[in-house]
């Protein structure tokens, strides 16, 4: 029986100041891609505390190739189950979530990629997004190649 293992090609976190994320301050990840043949999975990793006020997380990801925007994705992730229990791993106050962004994808070209991630959460009934999203400690990105 053959099995596929996954090797992290890129794994980086950015810590958020005072455990809050300003709506006008995207978190950026710069990746130099040299392998366009091996399929990759891309994950957004988020660490949250009990102060996080929502059961879901809305993100906007702008993907750039060689400084030109190539794709914009609007994403929604569940952060808590219906009973309000936090999803993710961790035993203390901080929970870590590995959120699927793309699976079994190939980078189309070798070169410099940038993933710019912003939150898009807002309170019910509000048209304006939360100026600061509290209860998040870190935002990260992990890229795994199938080997």
User: For 21-57, how does the pLDDT look when each residue is reduced to its tens digit (9 = 90+)?
Assistant: 999 999 999 999 999 999 999 999 999 999 999 999 9
Catalogue all structural domains in the chain, each as residue range(s) with its CATH number: 6-146 (2.60.120)
Residue 100, exposed/middle/buried by CB under 10 A (0-12, 13-18, 19+)? exposed
- pTM for this entry: 0.90
- 144 contacts: CB under 8 Å, gap ≥ 6: 6, 7, 8, 9, 40, 41, 43
């Amino acid at each position: 029986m053959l099995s596929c293992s996954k090797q992290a090609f890129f794994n980086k976190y950015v810590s958020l100041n005072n455990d809050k994320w300003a709506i006008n301050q995207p978190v950026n990840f710069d990746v130099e891609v040299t392998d366009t043949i091996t399929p990759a999975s891309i994950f957004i990793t988020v660490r949250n505390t009990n102060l996080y006020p929502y059961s879901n997380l809305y993100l906007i990801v702008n993907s750039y190739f060689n400084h030109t925007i190539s794709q914009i994705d609007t994403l929604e992730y569940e952060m808590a189950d219906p009973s309000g229990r936090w999803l993710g791993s961790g035993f203390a106050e901080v929970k870590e979530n590995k959120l699927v962004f793309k699976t079994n994808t190939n980078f189309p070209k070798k070169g410099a990629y940038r993933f710019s991630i912003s939150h898009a959460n807002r309170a019910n009934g509000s048209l304006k997004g939360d100026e600061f999203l509290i209860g998040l400690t870190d935002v990260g990105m992990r890229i795994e190649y199938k080997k």
